Amino acid sequence: MGNSINLLYGKSTLALQLPEGNAVQILESKETGIPGDAGDILRRALASPIASPGLAELTETAKKILIITNDNTRPMPSRLTIPAIIGSFRYPEENYEIAILIATGLHRPMTEDEKLEQFGSDICGKYRIINHVAGDKSSLAYFGKTSTGNELYLNKLVAESDLVIAEGFIESHFFAGFSGGRKSILPGVAGESTILANHKPEHIADRNARQSNLTGNPIHDECTEAAVISGLKFILNVALDKNKRIVAAFAGDPVEAHLTGCRFVEDSMSTDAVRTDIVVTSNNGYPLDRNLYQVVKGIDAAAKVAKENGVIVAVARCADNVGHERFRDLILSCGSIAELNEKMSVSPSEIDKWQVQVLAKALACHKVILVSEGIGRDLAERMFFSYAETVDEALSMALAMTSPNASISVLPEGPVIIPRIRSEKDASEGRVY
């Protein structure tokens, strides 16, 4: 065997032994060296906001302040960012009524133990921390319609607050272009019907609704419009390295600061690539690989690099198993990949259907081998995956499915990487990824 490479897996790594003699490309983020002090990075960003007054000015007359934050499917360093935000207010925190709203979207609420893990005892002890529940109509307020006609329902705390601030983490996103910024509002704290309209099959199928693209992206455009309508005034978004350390921060106007952050992430996470017969991907480890629902992101990233009829090996811990029952049930309701692809690509919009739609597209073009302690072989195979106990076994299976001399790509960080294929158009099928 040749060299080995570590793949992020849960809170640790798995070593993949690469075969000798095969063409191999490793797709990784650019080396940034040891990042500066995280506190200094945050303070500098908050002291020089982009296209916006600073928080000292914005909090001069505000009393009720809402901070929207990520749930625990994202590696958001809230223990650092929330104190930095509050420390930038005009007056001591005792002068304000501060609430923290977890932007769960349609994810499940966080438990008290998970809140403690994410935010720490100091933040949990000081502030009211609320899970957004998209299906609870009594917790929503109506904000009117977007230009697409989507009725905008948001958590009523947004309407009841004098100042709304959002923190977030920017990475490439498989259909919204990038995470962060406007996604704190839609889908983050939006009502179920609003999210379903935004994530409808026609939007997911749009050629512009793809990783690292914001131009003409219908999902991004509507999310941005929703953020403007909501009255979101200020954001603090961060970029992280492969060790989940803060390397950059972007504060200020929700649109302009986010775009600045997206450009930074695109530059640092983009890498030239060619398509290969086999692609091995992680899901960027914990917390993004905590369930199979999220692993679709790594599979989608790998599908951009895999040749037509190539093989994808997806490596993910899946400590929370599938994670979304509806996602599982939609897949199990179909008897074949063809049926799955056909049914998921058309209306109506349903909860978690968008994730199945993206997965179905990948499964229609590629064999996908799953390596996961959290998912059993029987369930994996019923959900149209092949299954392997170890990543080395999976690679052996992939070589048997293709060729002993197959070309191989490895994405150790999974979906945060932005592959730039030399020709975005697949010559054989005319398929645009």
- Name the helix (H) or strand (E) containing 353: helix 353-365
- The answer to the question of residue 190 being in a domain is yes
Separation CA 281–CA 362 (nearest Å): 14
How far is it, in rounded angstroms, from Cα 390 to Cα 291? 18
Query: Would you say residue 77 has pLDDT above 80?
Result: yes
The C-alpha atoms of residue 369 and residue 361 are separated, in whole angstroms, by 15
d(CA 73, CA 291): 9
Same domain, 67 and 170: yes
Same domain, yes or no, for 307 and 391?
Answer: yes
Are residue 167 and residue 86 in the same domain, yes or no? yes
Residue 281: give its domain's CATH number.
3.90.226.30
Task: Tell me, yes or no, whether 159 and 204 share the same domain.
Answer: yes
Tokens of 61: 């007359």
In DSSP notation, 239-286 reads EE-TTS-EEEEEEE-TTHHHHHHHHHHHHHHEEEE--EEEEEEE--ST
Measure the CA–CA gap between 289 and 73, rounded to whole angstroms.
8
Domain CATH code at residue 129: 3.40.50.11440
Is 427 a domain residue? no
* Other beta carbons less than 10 A from residue 206's beta carbon: 14
Among 35-39, 167-171, 190-194, 276-280, the minimum mean pLDDT is found in 35-39
Encode pLDDT of 199-213 as tens digits: 999 999 999 999 999
| C-alpha span between 299 and 401 (Å, rounded) | 18
- Cα separation of 266 and 213, whole Å? 10
pLDDT band at residue 96 under the 50/70/90 scheme: very high
Last residue within a domain, chosen from 208, 235, 267: 267
Do 235 and 339 sit in the same domain of this protein?
no
Q: Same domain for 355 and 263?
A: no
Task: Pick the catalytic residue from 173, 199, 203, 220.
Answer: 173
Q: Determine whether 203 is an active site residue.
A: no
- pTM of the full structure: 0.92
Is 258 annotated as catalytic?
no
Catalytic annotation, pick one of 107, 220, 324, 366: 107
Rounded to a whole number of angstroms, the CA Rg of the chain reads 21
Report if residue 429 sits inside a domain. Answer: no
**Last-in-domain residue among 243, 267, 291:** 267
Q: What is the mean pLDDT of residues 266-272?
A: 94
Query: 227 to each of 89, 136, 254, how far by Cα in Å?
Result: 22, 20, 8
**Residue for token pair 């000015």:** 57
Residue 385 domain-assigned?
Answer: yes
Which of helix, strand or coil describes residue 311?
Answer: strand
Domain annotation covers residue 430:
no
CA gap 39, 43 in Å, rounded: 6
pLDDT above 70 (res 426)? no
Give 417's contacts (C-beta < 8 A, 6+ positions apart): 27, 28, 29, 172, 269, 271, 301, 411
- pLDDT tens profile 295-348: 999 999 999 999 999 999 999 999 999 999 999 999 999 999 999 999 999 999
Residues 93 and 86 sit within 8 Å (Cβ to Cβ): yes
Residue 19 has pLDDT above 80, yes or no: yes
pLDDT at 3 over 70: yes
Q: Give residues with Cβ within 8 angstroms of 344, minimum separation 6.
A: 201, 330, 353, 356, 357, 360
Please say which residue of 267, 286, 311 terminates a domain.
267
In a domain? residue 369: yes
User: 307 and 202, same structural domain?
Assistant: no
Domain range enclosing 139: 38-267
**Does residue 432 sit within a domain?**
no
Same domain, 124 and 234: yes
* 208 and 72 together in one domain: yes
Would 426 be classed as within a structural domain? no
Residues 234 and 303 in one domain: no
Question: How high is the mean pLDDT of the chain?
Answer: 94
Strand partners, 164: 66
Structure tokens at 105: 């979207």
Which comes out higher in pLDDT, residue 268 or 425?
268
283-299 pLDDT per residue, tens: 999 999 999 999 999 99
Contact 414, 25 (CB under 8 A): no
Beta-bridge mates of residue 379? none
Q: What is the DSSP string of 367-384?
A: EEEEE-SSS-HHHHHHTT
Query: Could you tell me the two tokens for 74?
Result: 């994202």
Domain check: are 260 and 278 in the same one?
A: no
Chain segment 26-68, per-residue pLDDT in tens: 999 876 667 889 999 999 999 999 999 999 999 999 999 999 9
Contact in structure between 363 and 381 (CB atoms under 8 Å): no
Which pLDDT band, with edges at 50, 70 and 90, does 159 fall under? very high
pLDDT at 358: 97
Terminus-to-terminus CA distance in the chain, angstroms? 32
Share of the chain above pLDDT 90, in %: 93
Looking at the fold, whether 245 and 330 belong to one and the same domain comes out as no
pLDDT at 432: 26
What is the number of structural domains in the chain? Answer: 2
* Upper half-sphere CA count for residue 242 (Cβ side, 13 Å): 23
